[in-house]
Each structure stands twice: as C-alpha cells, then as structure tokens.
C-alpha cells in the first residue's frame, strides 16, 4: 500500500512539472489576417484574436474548434453574420420580424432560432435559396424553435416548428 501511495505521489508531481517552454503556441492572427492567408494547408491552426476562438483549416475553409454555444437575443429584424455560425438566436419582439440569410457562408453553417416573444420570425434569403419541405418559412408562434443549415453553397434548409 505504501508503494502505491509513493507511486501516485510521484506521478502527481511529474504531471505538474511542465513548464511554459514545453507548451505548444498557436499562431495568433486577427480575423482579417486569418482570412487573407494565401492557400492555407489542411490542418493549420490559428487562434483568432478578433473572435477569441481557435480555428483549424479543413476542406477549403476555416472551422471553429471547441465551440461553446452562445445565445444571442434580438428584438428586431436581423441579417445573419458569419460569426453567428453554431449559435442560438432568440427573437423577443411583440411585432413580426424578418431574419435574412445572406450569401457567402460555408456549407455546414448552422444556427438555431427561437421565437420567445409574440412576434413571428419570417426567414428570407438574400442571394440564397431557402428550402422547407412544406414551404413554411415563418415560426409557428411563441416558443417555436427552428434550425437553419447550409446544405450546399448558398442553399439552406429549415426544420422545426414552422407555418406558412
């Protein structure tokens, strides 16, 4: 038993003996600098000093790593931003509003949308194709939730609690 305790204490001391010289440093670039890189190779890592997030380059696009879902609250019509990828957006309005999906986001871009107020949220595209199996593009009512996913270049599918 004593040998086991000594072994555990030794292993514990070793694990805390790492110095900062032994850590790997990821290159730090602003979003502008990161996006201006000429032909980055798959697997490149960058810490984006603008978004304060870690990105890997894969399949011709920068992909955020270690995504922690963020909830954004909006009270008026809104146009999605590239930085909204992977986020949850709530709309708390007493009047109907519009959520616009512009062109240019990568395939796989996705957001979750929730209507928390009484105003319905209508989803429209701007230079994009927005699809739903039943041609429904408006939240169905208070507490309705929908998903928006880019399934191909500038094409988005809507799922969830929608109505015409």
Q: What pLDDT digit, counting tens, does each position of 146-162 carry?
A: 999 999 999 999 999 99
What is the pTM for the complete model shown?
A: 0.64
Query: Given this model, what pLDDT does residue 112 score?
Result: 97
Q: What is the CATH number of the domain that holds 61?
A: 3.40.1620
Query: Which residue in 112, 37, 56, 120 sits closest to 80, CA to CA?
Result: 112
Tally of structural domains, the chain: 2
Q: What pLDDT digit, counting tens, does each position of 35-76 carry?
A: 999 999 999 999 999 988 899 999 889 988 876 788 999 999
Domain that holds residue 76: 68-164
What is the band of 7 on the pLDDT scale with cuts at 50, 70, 90? very low
Last residue of a domain, one of 66, 97, 114: 66
What is the band of 10 on the pLDDT scale with cuts at 50, 70, 90? low
Residue 91 near residue 117, CB atoms below 8 Å: yes
Query: Given this model, what pLDDT does residue 15 score?
Result: 55
Beta strands 138-139 and 162-163: pairing type?
antiparallel
Residues 85 and 27 in one domain: no
Q: Which two tokens stand for residue 16?
A: 């805390």
Residues 21 and 76 in one domain: no
Residues 162 and 138 in one domain: yes
Query: Given this model, what pLDDT does residue 106 score?
Result: 94
Residue 28 near residue 40, CB atoms below 8 Å: no
């Amino acid at each position: 038993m004593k040998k086991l305790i000594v072994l555990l204490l030794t292993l514990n001391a070793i694990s805390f003996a790492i110095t900062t010289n032994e850590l790997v440093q990821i290159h730090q670039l602003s979003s502008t600098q990161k996006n201006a890189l000429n032909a980055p190779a798959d697997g490149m890592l960058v810490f984006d000093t603008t978004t304060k997030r870690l990105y890997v380059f894969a399949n011709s696009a920068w992909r955020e790593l270690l995504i922690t879902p963020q909830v954004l609250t909006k009270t008026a019509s809104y146009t999605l931003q590239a930085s909204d990828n992977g986020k949850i957006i709530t709309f708390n309005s007493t009047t109907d509003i519009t959520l616009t999906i512009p062109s240019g986001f990568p395939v796989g871009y996705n957001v979750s949308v929730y209507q928390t107020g009484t105003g319905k949220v209508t989803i429209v595209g701007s230079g994009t194709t927005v699809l739903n199996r039943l041609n429904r593009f408006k939240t169905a009512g208070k507490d309705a939730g929908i998903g928006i996913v880019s399934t191909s270049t500038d094409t988005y599918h809507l799922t969830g609690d929608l109505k015409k």
